[in-house]
Amino acid sequence: MGIVIGLVVTFGCVLGGFMAMGGHLDVLVQPWELVIIGGSALGTFLVANPMATVKDTGKACMEAFKHAVPKETEYLETLGVLHSLMRELRTKSRSEVEAHIDNPEESAIFQAYPTVLSNNDLTHFICDYCRIIIIGNARPFEIEALMDEEIQTIKRDKLKSYHALVAMSEGLPALGIVAAVLGVIKAMGALDQSPEVLGALIGAALVGTFLGIFLSYAVVGPIATKIKIVREKKNRLYVIVKQTLLAYMNGSLPQVALEFGRKTISSYDRPTIDAVEQSTLNPGGAGGDAEKKAA
């Protein structure tokens, strides 16, 4: 919704200001200039990026428009599933714990936290490191280094769409100049026409420069920035898992280890200690509590 409101304000101010200066909107309607700029931008985007990145960019744009960042429910469920697993690690045998992490889809622990279970990457991340803890040979600082490396890898993969759109944004002004040059070439072929005709052709050519700059700095660039914000917030879930499990490996009790994870959440989104405690005492109830608060 924020992107839609921002684009409405941007287009309204630019076009409204142009009309207030006495400009005519029909002058800006140059569909073939837009075809040249948009088509060449799309073509270079396809050339520069593998198909996996192209598909992920579409997914990332949808996430940006929906502002699909983790909500309090997702944070609480992540902390809740970690608390349950850490209690299992302390009190149950290795085979009993392995039953949960080897097949999380059928685990009662993960089924109690459907938001986490629906996030396959996060679920596998949690299970992988719980499995390493069960083995018991790795030291905490080694696990921390491995987690840092994997989180950085995940971050690089998730931000490929952002970098792809930034590259497109940086190229749009130049592509606008290309469209403008083609328009000027067309105008040069009509030098024998009246000043009115020649002026219209030159004006149409200059629209290409306007469109290239406008699309770059007012549309594609801001959407890319929003994608980066959303993806980085989603990656924060992995940091929560990292800090919580490391605290547990260093000897903290499960409830204390949760506080290490909770503190990595931004202060604007961080659930209270009471909310975390309630979530751990009532597995699967975090979503219902959050919905009641929202209502």
| pLDDT at 136 exceeding the cut of 80 | no
Residue 285, pLDDT score: 55
Cα torsion 254, 260, 261, 266 to 10°: value is: 150
Query: How many whole angstroms separate alpha carbon 274 and alpha carbon 157?
Result: 35
| pLDDT at 292 exceeding the cut of 90 | no
Query: How many whole angstroms separate alpha carbon 21 and alpha carbon 38?
Result: 27
Of 56-70, 106-120, 131-145, 215-229, the range with the lowest mean pLDDT is 131-145
Rg of the chain on CA atoms, in Å: 26
Write the DSSP string, the chain.
Answer: -HHHHHHHHHHHHHHHHHHHTT--HHHH--HHHHHHHHHHHHHHHHHHS-HHHHHHHHHHHHHHHHT----HHHHHHHHHHHHHHHHHHHHS-HHHHHHHHH-GGG-HHHHT-HHHHH-HHHHHHHHHHHHHHHH--S-HHHHHHHHHHHHHHHHHHHTHHHHHHHHHHHHHHHHHHHHHHHHHHHHHTTTTS-HHHHHHHHHHHHHHHHHHHHHIIIIIHHHHHHHHHHHHHHHHHHHHHHHHHHHHHTT--HHHHHHHHHTTS-TTTPPPHHHHHHHHHSTT-HHHHHHHHH-
pLDDT digit string, tens, across residues 11-21: 999 999 989 99
| pLDDT at 2 exceeding the cut of 50 | yes
Residue 291, pLDDT score: 35
pLDDT digit string, tens, across residues 211-245: 999 999 999 999 999 999 999 999 999 999 999 99
Percent of the chain with pLDDT over 70: 95
Q: What is the mean pLDDT of residues 108-128?
A: 92
Q: Which pLDDT band, with edges at 50, 70 and 90, does 284 fall under?
A: low
Q: Which pLDDT band, with edges at 50, 70 and 90, does 144 fall under?
A: very high
Percent of the chain with pLDDT over 90: 64
Mean pLDDT in the chain?
A: 89
Q: Are 64 and 230 in contact (CB under 8 A)?
A: yes
Q: What is the mean pLDDT of residues 263-279?
A: 89
Q: What is the mean pLDDT of residues 105-127?
A: 92
Name the token pair of 187.
């105008």
Residues ≥6 apart with Cβ < 8 Å to 50: none
pLDDT digit string, tens, across residues 159-213: 999 999 999 999 999 999 999 999 999 888 887 788 888 888 888 889 999 999 9
